[in-house]
């Protein structure tokens, strides 16, 4: 009986040895091209589920949005922060394993007409001049999927909205026209 227990203990110890495992999230080794992003939609949020490599929101406000990469090297994005939804455009490129987003100096917001927000107040679209600047995101791989990592956000390919759905949403909401998006 003792020999059986000792033998089982030895087998258990041997089978529990550390084995090398593949890192789930790692820097990219191959080169992603700017054109690889054309007609893609990415969801933006502060957390990354490394099981399926999808960015997600755990219920916080001002924590999610999306970005749509257009074929001409431009993008349109939105970000939701109660009570406003903001829309921006700009250009993008892949450079030195980084995604560079260069935002235009205009922004459309959809929300209350003034700062005294109330539930009953009608929301309006407003075009403003803002200085957003440039954002540099790390290009990383999660399993076999590209993910972009900023200071506090992850960008993963959106599984809920297709390219055409996203474009139609921007057009229906009026942001596409106000931002004068060319595609």
Q: What is the DSSP string of 97-164?
A: TEEEEEEEEEEEEEEESSSS--TTSPEEEEEEE----EEEEEEEEETTEEEEE-SS-EEEE-SS--HH
> Per the omega criterion (within 30 degrees of 0), is the bond before 83 cis?
yes
7-24 residue pLDDT tens: 333 444 334 333 333 345
Q: Which two tokens stand for residue 98?
A: 């980084």
Percent of the chain at pLDDT > 70 equals: 80
Q: Which two tokens stand for residue 18?
A: 């550390």
50-109 residue pLDDT tens: 999 999 988 888 888 999 999 999 999 999 988 899 999 999 999 999 999 999 999 999
Strand partners, 127: 108
Closest among 177, 154, 179, 139 to 42, alpha carbons compared = 154
pTM, to two decimals: 0.81
pLDDT at 143 over 60: yes
CATH of domain 26-178: 2.40.128
């Amino acid at each position: 009986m003792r020999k059986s227990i000792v033998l089982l203990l030895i087998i258990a110890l041997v089978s529990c040895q550390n084995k090398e495992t593949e890192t789930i999230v790692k820097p990219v080794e191959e080169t992603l091209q700017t054109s690889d992003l054309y007609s893609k939609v990415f969801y933006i949020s502060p957390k990354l589920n490394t099981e399926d490599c999808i960015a997600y929101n755990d219920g916080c406000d001002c924590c999610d949005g999306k970005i749509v990469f257009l074929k001409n090297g431009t993008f349109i994005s939105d970000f939701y922060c109660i009570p406003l939804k903001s829309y921006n455009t700009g250009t993008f490129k892949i450079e030195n394993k980084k995604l560079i987003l260069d935002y235009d100096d205009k922004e459309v917001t959809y929300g209350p007409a003034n700062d005294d927000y109330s539930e009953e107040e009608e929301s309006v679209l407003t075009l403003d001049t803002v200085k957003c600047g440039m954002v540099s995101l790390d290009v990383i791989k999660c399993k076999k999927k590209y993910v972009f990592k900023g200071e506090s956000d992850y960008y993963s390919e959106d599984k809920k909205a297709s390219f055409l759905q996203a474009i139609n949403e921007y057009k229906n909401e009026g942001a596409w026209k106000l931002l004068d998006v060319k595609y």
